[in-house]
Amino acid sequence: MNFLSHIAVVEPVGDRLVFAGAVLPDLLRHVGTGHHKMPAEGRAPSEDVARVMQGIRYHVEADAFFHYCPWFAATLKEVQAFMREEGNPLAEHWSRWLLPHLLIEIVIDAHLADIRPDLPKLLYGSLQEFAERDCCEAIAAQYKAKPSALRDIIGILRRNRRPETYRSVPGVADALRRVLARDGREVLPVEDEHHLTAPLHWLKQRVGAPPDIIQVVREGIGL
């Protein structure tokens, strides 16, 4: 769901199919299986597929590094403590361990959308180029997804301009529902959306300050 962050991390590579691969795992999670795993080893069926697979590898490596880096661990504990101390009901939500994790990623993307208005265009253009190539079928097959389903979800993201909706509380709430609702449990009723306001405001102040976490992750995965 943190599409812009993954694009920003691999931006020095300068390859749109790599960019597409770097965000695909967060789309494949909705239409396929094994989205969090490295692509299968072996010779790729084409150069285009190899470029996309490299992007997927970068995504998996970036997540592994980011989720265990000191900045993320400290920020996660701090936002959890903030929500508990203010008596926020979401601190007792069934997803209370995952919710702050998702909020951090969403706020970083919202921050990137504000300071880098070119990134959403790069995201949509890269995904469109991927969807129009034959490599879409090969990648979908590897993750047991239907190519049509993968293209559909790419189209939805592009039409709804999802990362740019993270600037608003309803947009954040909608993103959380899409990620958390997969097990069928009630996620976040509309009447409870306002409980996101305070932690989002706190996080926006935190994320807007050093360090530059994108550069930290780049260096962490060797880019």
Q: Could you read off the pLDDT of 115-132 as tens digits, one per residue?
A: 888 999 999 999 988 888
Most confident of 89-103, 109-123, 197-211: 109-123
Give the per-residue pLDDT at 38: 62
Give the per-residue pLDDT at 141: 83
Give the per-residue pLDDT at 106: 87
Residues 6+ apart with CB under 8 A from 43: none
The DSSP symbol for 33 reads: S
How large is the angle between the packed helices 213-220 and 47-66, nearest 10 degrees? 120
Task: Tell whether pTM > 0.85.
Answer: yes
Tokens 């935190």 identify what position?
Answer: 206
Band (pLDDT 50/70/90 cuts) for residue 178 is: confident
CB 129 within 8 Å of CB 48:
no
- Count the residues in the chain: 223
Give the per-residue pLDDT at 196: 84
Express the helix, strand and coil content of the chain in percent, nearest 5 each.
75, 0, 25
Of 122, 154, 179, 139, nearest to 56 by C-alpha is 139
144 vs 20, which has greater pLDDT? Answer: 20
Band (pLDDT 50/70/90 cuts) for residue 4 is: very high
Give the per-residue pLDDT at 190: 73
Cα-only R_g, the chain: 17
Of 30, 17, 34, 217, nearest to 143 by C-alpha is 34
Residue 204 pLDDT exceeds 60? yes
Determine how many CB atoms are found less than 10 A away from the CB of residue 72.
19
Q: Please tell me the distance from the alpha carbon of residue 18 to that of residue 123, in angstroms, as a whole number.
A: 11
Residues 6+ apart with CB under 8 A from 49: 135, 138, 139
pLDDT tens digits for range 40-70: 665 667 888 889 999 999 999 999 999 999 9
Tokens 């047991």 identify what position?
Answer: 144
